[in-house]
Amino acid sequence: MSEFFHDGNRQLQDRFETRPLADRLVEAIVSSQISPEDKAFIEEQNMFFLATVDREGRPNCSYKGGSRGLVKVIDEATLAFPLYDGSGMYISAGNVLVNPHVSLLFVDFQRQARLRLNGDAFIQDDEPLLNHWPEAEMVLRVSVREMFPNCPRYIHKMALVEESAFVPKAQCETPAPAWKRLEVVADVLPPRDAHLAGQEQDAAAALNRS
């Protein structure tokens, strides 16, 4: 517990008289291993939130979405997920290259359940799982440091209306996002997207429909 909590945590626990409760919860729910039940929960999700930090410790939070099975549990201490085409800024992946500490938050809004996972992330060359997810640019692996469920009382109950049409699927052409056709980025698109330049009128129409 001395490693799980720092002085800031302890200061507030003492102020609000929750130190014994906090210590008991660590004993009861915090684990460094992914249980079969946790594995099932994680692999059922089609989205999660990823927090990374840069070299100076400044945080960045990102939403990651896909199809069910977006995250694959490799073993009781490791999981992996794909990074798809995005804005080209590579903030999350770039942060991992200079600071491996990450946090993942899984929320099931239909079941009103959530799971927090903290660990160290890395990107390895010759990743064998790269072809597991169609159109994945790279795969992030996370070694679990600690994980625990969270109280679900403030989770709003919501239902999935439809999956995003932009989620890559095998043997299915993924549409290009409308913003890549805007004139403001036309001259700086990477070679793989150069054919989209000059289609701003179509992009504006698509944005108006969204």
pLDDT in tens, the chain (210 residues): 458 999 999 999 999 999 999 999 999 999 999 999 999 999 999 999 999 999 999 999 999 999 999 999 999 999 999 999 999 999 999 999 999 999 999 999 999 999 999 999 999 989 999 999 999 999 999 999 999 999 999 999 999 999 999 999 998 889 998 988 888 988 898 888 888 876 665 545 555 655
Check whether residue 103 and residue 139 sit in a common domain.
yes
3-state class of 139 per DSSP?
strand
DSSP state of 141: E
Check whether residue 42 and residue 134 sit in a common domain.
yes
Residue pair 54/60 in contact (Cβ under 8 Å)? The answer is yes
- The structural domain count of the chain equals 3
Name which of 113, 144, 108, 121 is nearest 31 in CA terms. Answer: 144
Name which of 114, 131, 123, 136 is nearest 66 in CA terms. Answer: 136
Check whether residue 19 and residue 73 sit in a common domain.
no
Check whether residue 119 and residue 194 sit in a common domain.
no
Put simply, whether the predicted model's pTM sits higher than 0.85 gets the answer yes
Check whether residue 39 and residue 75 sit in a common domain.
yes
3-state class of 63 per DSSP?
strand
Give the range of the structural domain holding residue 23, as residue numbers without chain letter.
1-30
State the DSSP H helix or E strand holding residue 207, giving kind and residue range, or none if neither.
Answer: helix 200-209
